[in-house]
Structure 1
Amino acid sequence: MPVIKVKGMSCQHCVKSVTEAMEKLGAKDVSIDLLSGDVTYSEDTPIALDAIKEAVTKIGFEVVE
């Protein structure tokens, strides 16, 4: 499963916001580890990393590499 690191999440509301933003793009099986900031999603998700970064940034978080 692909993994991205999202900075700035601090609660379950943050997790829900990021999950919903990614699912709107078509991401499947989104799973977030709040402590590490790791976000995983299905390899079957045909979404460019740039689109994910843009969606996550729009809701106030940062994708770090």
Structure 2
Amino acid sequence: MTRSDSTAASPREGNPYANVLVTTPKLADDPRIARLSKLLTSPEVAKFIREHYQGSVIPVDN
């Protein structure tokens, strides 16, 4: 399967598949988890994803 095939097979709207950041209740308030969450949803990471995955991965837009 090529990147374009996977993009066509997984439309953005209504797509039930997503990567999420999950932690344990014990680590929910850990500053490292908060920092990771902030970085994963940053404009810089979104730009990296768009440039390197060319539509086969869609970043979170904040």
Fold shared per TM-score above 0.5: no
- The normalised TM-score by structure 2 is 0.32
| Higher RCO (CA-CA < 8 Å; seq separation 6+) | 1
Question: Which has the greater radius of gyration?
Answer: 2
- The normalised TM-score by structure 1 is 0.31
